Amino acid sequence: MRSHLKFSGVVAAAAIAALTIAMPSKTAPAQELPAAKDTIFARKILMGAIDMNMDEIETMLAPGGKLELAEAQEHSETISTMLMAFPHMFPPATNQWKVGAARDPATDTFASPDVWTNFADFYQRATEASKIAWSASRAKRPADFKAFIVQLRERCNACHALNMKTD
Ligand code: HEC
């Protein structure tokens, strides 16, 4: 009994020591996340790559363009994958847009603070757009592919209207 008590005392002391180590102090960063500016840069180039793939597709679908369905569908599948990853790149520290602040379009974020006030909606929009891009990548007929791409473009624009600052 005595030794048992003594043992629990040791365990408790060890547990407290572990807690003390595990509890971050107020000044320490909460988590070992990459620097906010690096995450912002990563999501901007990811979106940039989504845009380049979309541009390839829309050029093929434009008047005078020639649709190579297999190639266009590869672009669409790539967009789908990237749109799935995209909303995972919005940790709170990257909520940095400010009214009237001078911004460098190459490195500063244009993501609206609204992303974080309704993150579930933002996440769902990314997921839905990703699914549409996936459906386009699997469409059997050019006409179906085209219809999905029109829908996808609407999703790009709708999400930007709500979640991006243009000034
Ligand atoms: C779920 C919302 C959402 C969807 C869907 C979405 N975007 Fe974006 N997009 C954003 C946000 C937010 C930013 C701003 C990112 C930042 O500045 O941190 C952005 C930025 C961009 C940019 C600017 C990139 C840069 O260099 O800063 C382009 C171009 C773009 N999107 C194209 C597209 C295209 C094309 C699609 C559709 C295929 C699309 N987006 C779908 C939310 C979305």
Residue type, 78: T
Give distance in angstroms: CA of 29 to centre of ligand 1. 28
Residue type, 147: A
| pLDDT per residue of the chain (167 residues) written in tens, 0 to 9 | 444 555 555 555 555 555 555 555 556 656 688 999 999 999 999 999 999 999 999 999 999 999 999 999 999 999 999 999 999 999 999 999 988 888 888 899 999 999 999 999 999 999 999 999 999 999 999 999 999 999 999 999 999 999 999 76
**Ligand 1 binding pocket includes 159 (Cβ within 6 Å):** yes
Residue 110 makes CB contacts below 8 A (sequence gap 6+) with 97, 103, 164, 165, 166
Name the nearest CA neighbour of 112 among 85, 88, 94, 89: 94
Cβ–ligand 1 contact at 146 (below 6 Å):
no
Burial of residue 75 (CB within 10 Å: 0-12, 13-18, 19+) is buried
Question: Does residue 24 contact residue 30 with C-beta atoms inside 8 Å?
Answer: yes
Handedness of CA 49, 51, 57, 59 (dihedral sign): negative
Pull the structure tokens for residue 80: 């789908």
Distance 133 CA to ligand 1 centre (A): 14
Sequence-ordered list of residues with C-beta below 8 angstroms from that of 68, at least 6 positions apart, any chain: 60
Which residue's CA is the closest to the ligand 1 atom numbered 38?
A: 156
Q: Cα–Cα distance between 94 and 110 in angstroms, integer?
A: 10
| Whether residue 163 has its Cβ less than 6 Å from ligand 1 | yes
Q: Is 57 in the pocket of ligand 1 (CB under 6 A)?
A: no
Interatomic CA distance for residues 48 and 42, integer angstroms: 10
Nearest atom in ligand 1 to 133's CA:
38
